[in-house]
Amino acid sequence: MLRARLVARNIRYGCQYRSPVVATARSFHATKVSLVEISKAAQEYKFEELKKAIDNHEKDIVVVDVREPNELAECGKIPGAINIPYKSSPGALGLDPEEFKETFGFDKPPTSSKLIFYCLAGVRSTAAEQIAATYGYTDRGNYKGSFKDWIEHQGPVEPVTPKE
């Protein structure tokens, strides 16, 4: 029943639901983080704020799409966003920089970056943002409206070619 509702909801937004591919990481990089840093709340972004940050190429901002790769291939992504899937790679930001690049094909964002997370509806992005805090990312944002809100506001979408 739940899967049927997910399929119906995702088809409404031009996406089809598929089970994610599960992946595991070989090693993680330990980071010392204080409780004050972890408890610092993430900034919540609305469509206009995120679009402005992207359009203005604000310094040190990294937009992170935490959906699974098949979701990006079906629906596209916010232009310029990087993909770090939450469900199949929840500890990705804990990888050492070399293994991160080998796994994802791009450099690991430095902990000094402001990471702004989004997913389809805001649930996974909230969880991913909280996990990022445990790896020393203190400047975090969450676009709770996520991709559904982006589409509803007619934000630009960058197509994604599926990886074989």
Q: In the sheet that 61-65 helps form, which strands lie side by side, from edge to edge?
A: 43-44, 140-142, 114-118, 61-65, 82-83
Rounded to the nearest 5°, which phi and psi values hold at 115? Answer: -95, 125
The one catalytic residue in 119, 120, 131, 151 is: 119
Q: Are 120 and 147 in contact (CB under 8 A)?
A: yes
119 is catalytic: yes
Token pair belonging to 162: 């599926």
Annotated catalytic sites, by residue?
119
